[in-house]
């Protein structure tokens, strides 16, 4: 309970600071209807809402914590670290294919051709989105 309340208080303080920083942005005559402070203020509001929800969650009845969920999160983080390390060495397409396949297997997908198709499709879709549509260069 204390951890949730501390996290909520920190989040609300950050949201307030972010709002104040957005409010201090200068206004331009060339500004559109949203203005330069529109998106930062929207993010501050979202941070405030989610922080308040975390604070409210502190008062909800608790279920017994599972140690497995922490180990599972650590495994996913390890997959992410392996992807970051491998992307520059073996290229984006191969590394994202391996990441998608490994994540599917890690979450319990059956070892069938569907996992390979999922991994290849995910890699192709992400490549098309980032490299093709958005023009972001990917490691080869």
d(CA 128, CA 116): 18
The CA distance from 54 to 47, in Å, is 10
CA distance 53 to 11: 10
In this prediction the pTM is 0.52
CA 105 to chain centre: 20
What is the DSSP code (8-state) at residue 34? S
Residue 88: is its pLDDT beyond 70? yes
- Position 30 scores a pLDDT of 65
The ranges assigned to domains in the chain are: 2-57, 67-133
Q: What percent of the chain has pLDDT over 90?
A: 44
Task: Give the phi and the psi of residue 136 in degrees, each rounded to 5.
Answer: -90, 120
User: Which of the four pLDDT bands, split at 50, 70 and 90, describes residue 136?
Assistant: confident
User: Do residues 52 and 8 touch, judged by C-beta distance below 8 A?
Assistant: yes
Distance separating alpha carbons of residues 96 and 84, to the nearest angstrom:
10
Compute and round to an integer the Cα radius of gyration of the chain.
Answer: 21
**For residue 79, is pLDDT > 90?**
yes
- What percent of the residues of the chain are helix, what percent strand, and what percent coil, each to the nearest 5? 75, 0, 25
pLDDT in tens, 33-69: 667 778 888 999 999 999 999 999 888 887 766 666 7
């Amino acid at each position: 309970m204390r951890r949730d309340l501390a996290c909520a208080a920190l989040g609300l303080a950050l949201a307030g600071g972010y709002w104040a920083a957005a409010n201090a942005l200068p206004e331009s005559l060339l500004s559109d209807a949203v203005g330069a402070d529109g998106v930062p203020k929207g993010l501050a509001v979202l941070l405030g809402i989610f922080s308040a929800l975390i604070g409210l969650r502190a008062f909800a009845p608790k279920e017994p914590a599972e140690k497995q969920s922490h180990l599972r999160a650590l495994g996913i983080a390890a997959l992410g670290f392996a992807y970051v390390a491998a992307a520059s060495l073996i290229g984006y397409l191969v590394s994202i294919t391996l990441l998608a396949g490994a994540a599917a297997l890690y979450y319990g997908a059956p070892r069938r051709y569907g996992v390979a198709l999922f991994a290849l499709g995910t890699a192709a879709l992400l490549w098309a989105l980032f490299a093709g549509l958005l023009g972001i260069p990917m490691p080869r």
